Every structure is written in structure tokens, then in C-alpha cells.
Amino acid sequence: MQAFLVLEDGKVFKGSSFGASGERTGEVVFNTSMSGYQEIITDPSYKGQIIVMTYPLMGNYGINKEDAESRSPFLEGLVVKEYSKIASNWKNEQSLGEYLKENNILGIEGIDTRKLTLHIREKGAMKAVLSTQDSDEASLIKKAQNCRGLIGVDLVKEVSISKKYNYAWSKDAKYKVVVLDCGVKYNILRELTRNNCNVVVLPAQATSEEILAIKPDGLLLSNGPGDPAAVDYVVKTVIKLIGKLPIFGICLGHQMLGLALGGKTYKLKFGHHGANHPVKDLKTGKVSITSQNHGFCVDIASLNKKDIELTHVNLNDGTSEGFRHKKLPLFCVQFHPEASPGPHDAEYLFAEFTKLMQKPKKRKY
């Protein structure tokens, strides 16, 4: 079936559909990962976005239940150069196309993804429409221009859980951590359990009182989709918790901590999406190759330098990738230390979080 990907600036790409049929709108972004497509499409941070994979072949090892990073895929569409009709892997349970169709996600193949990626790099991420039901280019351009996009839109409420649950609970665990689910990836929860933590996951709408009632040793603010400035209820909750317990923020959690500390965020031209982004730790001088997925960034200059210290920078464009509070037990990073997919260079940050929780055991909840 013929499919169209049309950008808001009028650029039209024609290809063939795989997965579901229909029509979806969203912001189109490119991801530079060479593999790990299942983890990518099940990352809730992609809600509201159409993903372009820069590596030319996708689907060649299929899909399995183990590699999902959330309860379902949340992306709006998937764009690939070539979709492999053959899936060969001992873990394979179904094809990528079957999985997309089962979850009502549109896929398009057979377009020049290199040309599309270069266009996004030059012009910036933009709104787009993916359709198998409308072939009128003028109509599709108008739909792309009129879709909601990401700026000012609260997408967290569309991916967060509705009820509290215990991810892992062991009498031998040393720490109790509350994870505020703004679109958390499962491997963040796994990394916490590997670091001797019991994990309680709460909806993004949870209040500071509900969090403190659990009497946690620490709070993790998860990754998630969209504009951090639109998730003001989480920022207000974080403001009330700063100084009361150790806090670790990842991706959107990093951005919301920045806002809670009085800083500002801004939208990047085309974001950072992929598993090969070099980040320098300014304390050790070491460079980690990291997994990233974000379109917004904390303006480090907007934070109080007396209290906040920049800890990590992106070596591709110099943007801030992490900071810590000089007095309070609080730090955060823009990249994904849990990877999935990607290298494990930054896993040490979960151990750093447990070190923060070792210090003051008497807290006023």
C-alpha cells in the first residue's frame, strides 16, 4: 500500500506502508542507532513523534517480549529505508510489521532516509503527517501544519501509569526508591533493583505528600515525552521535595529539576536521538558514549551558579548534559544511563545515587 510522509514545510516523501494503515501526525525526528529498534519504539519518550531510523535496514531480528521498554509502543510512526521481510533471531516471536499493526502504529519504508535526515538537520525537527489514506499533497501539508506538535503540550499524562505499583520488593534490599513515572523505561527500574533498591512506581500526578508518605530513601524522576514546561504539576511537586530527600533525574526528570530550581528550558533544533552521543564528565574528564532521546534542553546559564554545578557536557554541540546541587543531595543527567538500547558506559550513575542515599538516614517526612 502506498504511504506518504509530508512535512509542514511542504516536503513530500512517498513510500510503501508496513504495520497499521491510517493517518498519524507528530514531530518527525531522526534516530542514529544501528540496532535496538524494539527498545526505541517502546520508549514512552517518543509519544507525539514520528521516528526516522538512519540505519538503512530495520526488522531483521524481529520482536520479542523481553526487549520491550514499556507496556506498549507510544510513537506515532516509524520511517525506515528498508523493512526486512525476514526476521532471523533465536528470540524472535513476531515480525516488526506485525507488532506495529497489532499496536496500531504506522510504518513507511522505501523512502530516502538519508535525504530526510539531512533535511531535518538543516531545517530542524518539524511537524509532519504519515498517511495511507490521503494522497492529496496539499491536503497533507495542511494537516501537518495544523497538528499540535510538542511545544506547550503535556504528553506525560498520556503515557504515565494510573495506579501505584511495586516494581520490585525484597526484604534484603538496602534502599527504598520512589520512581515518578513520567514515561519511565523498564531498564531504569531494573538498574535500581541491581543496585540494591526496592522500587515503588507512582503516577506523574502523585503529590509530594503521597511520595513522602512512602518514606523513601530517594526519589528518581524518570524520562518522558514532550515539553517539560508543560508538565507544571510535576515541577511544583519537585519544588516541595528539594532538600527533603536525595533526588536523581533522568532526561525529562533532568529538565524538570532544572525548572524546579528556577532555571529555563529551550527546544533544540533537531534534538538528540540515538545510542552514540559522546558526553564528557567534567569531574573525571572521562567521555562516555551515551544513549539519548530528547528535544529540549536545560539552559545551564539560567541556574544559580552559587548552588548548581555543571557536571556533563555534550561533545557534539556543547549543550548541558548534567548538573548537581553543591549543597543538597540532588543530581541529574540529560542522557540515559540505563541505555536500552546503547552502551553501558554511564551505568555508574545509579551507584552514585545509592551513595547519596547512604548518608542521612534520619529524614523529616
The set of catalytic residues is 251, 336, 338
- CA distance linking residue 268 with residue 276, whole number of Å: 18
Cβ pair 128, 6 in contact under 8 A: yes
Determine the Cα–Cα distance for residues 7 and 19; give it in Å rounded to an integer.
21
Nearest to 319 by CA among 242, 230, 258: 258
Amino acid at the residue 150: L
Euclidean distance between the first and the last CA atom of the chain, given in angstroms as a whole number? 58
Pairing mode, strands 197-203 and 165-168: antiparallel
CB 269 within 8 A of CB 241: no
Residue 6, φ and ψ in degrees, nearest 5: -125, 130
Q: Output b/e per residue, 248-277; b: 16+ Cβ within 10 A.
A: bbbbbbbbbbbbbbebebeeeebbbbbbeb
What is the identity of the amino acid at 241? L
The contacts found for 319-327 with CB under 8 angstroms, 24 or more apart, are 319/268, 321/279, 321/290, 322/254, 322/279, 323/254, 323/258, 323/298, 325/261
Cell numbers 552514585 label which residue?
Answer: 352
